[in-house]
Structure 1
Amino acid sequence: MANDTLTGNRVTAIPRQPVSHAGLINAVEGTLADFLASQIAALDAVDPSLGGFARTARDLVLAGGKRLRPTFAYWGWRGVAGPAADSEPLLPALGALELMHTFALVHDDLMDDSATRRGRPTAHRIFAGQHGARFGSSAAVLVGDLCLVWADQLLARTPMPPATLLEVRARYDRMRVEAVAGQYLDVLGETDPRSWSVERALLVARHKTASYTVQWPLDFGLALAAADEPEVAEAYRVYGITIGEAFQLRDDLLGVYGDPAVTGKPAGDDLRTGKPTALLMLARQMATPAQLSELDGAGIDRKAQVVAETGAPTRIEEMIRTRVAEGLTAVTSAPIDPEARGVLIELATVATQRPA
């Protein structure tokens, strides 16, 4: 049963190469479900209320999502490991990325006071419904913290040589630092959005989103392969930054014009909070004095119309296309497994032309 993982009373098959996207995600989610079951049982044994707390955290982790971070990490690994390599040892490391992502989402939703995520109430809203707003905020912080601890624990279970895990951990730590740094800049920008700039908004996009969504997961995968491939590392870096920034620019557009039934998040949150995204900074830069006045004082729906009237969304679409083209050029010429190259090309489109 070398290619199976015994998980409780279930046997979860680890798909042989070539692997389907669904097969990969199912394997990662199976690993997460079994790990979280053991963690919940341990907390349940301390106090039933802790078990309920942990179950809420589990539900947030397993609530769906695009699972882009483990996907990019897998194909970063596969690009150098090749089609014959066994993917089963990667699963704890890939699952750890999703736990880290949940930590970031829970804290981000709390800072933005977002009502929904993936079509469901956010963590702080769930807990606020139990014991009020202050409890909701406090419990959401703790859920995020717990997910980050769980990510560390699951990563440590990756069955690889210590030297390999040390390199993997270095990428993981860099990813976390950049995500926190980007989030701080994001929060800072909201304190005085008029003093922000398009350039600084892109800096936030690079650190808050691009680095931990695409760039570092790819490099994380390269480290999992224990490969010393400078040319591949550089191609992954360029692809990761450009596709990651394009991903965030698409997110900026969806934050204003996305369909909540598809995105799972309310439309207009960025306009409501005054978040200085690249889209809104461009709109302010391109606006007439009359339009600028409306951007400062109109209602959410009218602000969205004004942003469109400035031409900023069209400019953002151009920026997305430019970045995708640069990223595809980098990965097309990289000395990696052909199937991995094809999937990374496809993922660039999936990540940047998505409806949610």
Structure 2
Amino acid sequence: MIPGEELARRDAVDAALEAFVQERRRDLEPLGPDATALLDLARDAVAGGKRLRPTFCRAGWLAAGGDPDDGRIDVAAAGLEWLQASALVHDDVMDDSDVRRGRPSVHRAVESTHREGGWSGDAAAHGRAVAIVLGDLLLSWADQQLRASALPTVGRGLDLLDLCRSEVATGQYLDVLAQTRPEVGVEEALRIVRFKAATYTVERPMQIGAALAGADDAFVDALSSVALPLGEAFQLRDDVLGVFGDPEVTGKPAGDDLREGKRTVLVARTVERAGPQEREQLRRLLGTREGIAPLRDMIVRSGALAAVEKDIADREQAARDALDLLPQAARAAIEPLLLVGTRRSR
């Protein structure tokens, strides 16, 4: 649960996103009515999210002494939702996922529209093509939304956003590459966690907020000592929920990560503890629907689940220890968020 003040700011982020979409509608009106469908998909892509990245961005802003009543930070932070939506839309295409946030994933929804409308061509190919285009559009909107804040420090925020986008894309590549290998070790799996998720979920959003508030480079860098372990703990919790979460709560089928053959830390910890026969069984079943149930059992039985829970707890403690070294104002802004991403059910 995000603390009360941050929940109250969710409305401001939602309003900034909606205003941005309406501005783009006016910009793209000359393209004709067909463009409306793409903009509707864009708006839907950011609906229902937890708004964690804008929350961490605002925390960085407050930690650096930013004015809590300055609405420009909400406009800027909303740009991180377009980055997140872009990653999810493309992720669902690459993973062939059917569901996102309890609704059909974008490529599946567009595929259904094509099929139900009796349109020409291949419905599945059309769905994938539109999702790729949409993801590209959303990615371009991330910095456009940030610039819309008109903050005098926006240039520093954009520099960090550029770095963040490079890290996300490269981390995604490492994740895709890992799925071509029979096994991935814990260290490699953790490296993917860091660059695919931890940096763009917590570290860069928090640093962007601090930079926008005018913090110096030393303070922006110091935030990493808190944000990186917290971001890694967030993704490790995501991995656990991807295998053991309640679909009614997470909005995705349980075990999807196993079906997709993800080489997560949870899987790497299982390999680490498995004997030769179990490792062979894991290699054979990972990436199949029929492997979900037996692999779940193996993960628990091997002690891998308990090991990842300890990984999460260790990172929570590391973030807390690092926070103690920051100034009081920074601690007050960040401390309420320490468990937001890790003690959760979705």
CA–CA distance in 1 between the matches of 2:4 and 2:186?
A: 40
Counterparts in 2 of 1:289 and 1:71: CA distance versus 1, 3 Å? same
Task: Tell me which amino acid in the other structure corresponds to 1:260.
Answer: P
The alpha carbon displacement at 1:229 in A equals 5.9
Using the TM superposition, name which of 31-40 and 322-331 deviates more: 31-40
Map 1:262-301 → 2, pairs under 5 A: 262-298=249-285, 299-301=291-293
Q: What residue in structure 2 maps to residue 50 of structure 1?
A: 35
Task: Tell me which amino acid in the other structure corresponds to 1:246.
Answer: A
Q: Which runs of 5+ in 1 are unaligned?
A: 1-17
Percent sequence identity is 42
Deviations 1:19-58 (A, max 9, x none): 8122211001101111102213433442211111111111
Map 1:125-136 → 2, pairs under 5 A: 125-131=108-114, 132-136=123-127
The alpha carbon displacement at 1:343 in A equals 4.8
Q: Which runs of 5+ in 2 are unaligned?
A: 115-122, 286-290
What's the Cα RMSD here? 1.7
Q: What residue in structure 1 maps to residue 175 of structure 2?
A: 186
Maintained 8 Å contact 2:51/2:81: yes
Maintained 8 Å contact 2:62/2:333: no
For CA contacts below 8 A with separation 6 or more, give which structure has more relative contact order: 2
Task: Tell me which amino acid in the other structure corresponds to 2:75.
Answer: P
CA–CA distance in 2 between the matches of 1:249 and 1:85?
A: 31
Match of 2:166 among 177, 194, 202: 177
Q: What residue in structure 1 maps to residue 91 of structure 2?
A: 108
Map 1:1-356 → 2, pairs under 5 A: 20-61=5-46, 63-81=47-65, 84-131=67-114, 132-161=123-152, 164-194=153-183, 196-228=184-216, 230=218, 232-298=219-285, 299-337=291-329, 341-356=331-346
Q: TM-score, normalised by structure 2?
A: 0.91
For this pair of structures, how many residues does the alignment match? 331
Maintained 8 Å contact 1:110/1:124: yes
Runs of 4+ that moved beyond 4 A: none
Task: Tell me which amino acid in the other structure corresponds to 1:67.
Answer: R
Task: Tell me which amino acid in the other structure corresponds to 2:45.
Answer: L
Deviations 1:59-103 (A, max 9, x none): 111x21111111001010101215x55321212211111111111
The alpha carbon displacement at 1:305 in A equals 0.8
Maintained 8 Å contact 2:197/2:231: yes
Q: TM-score, normalised by structure 1?
A: 0.89
Maintained 8 Å contact 1:190/1:274: yes
Maintained 8 Å contact 1:80/1:336: no
Counterparts in 2 of 1:68 and 1:145: CA distance versus 1, 3 Å? same
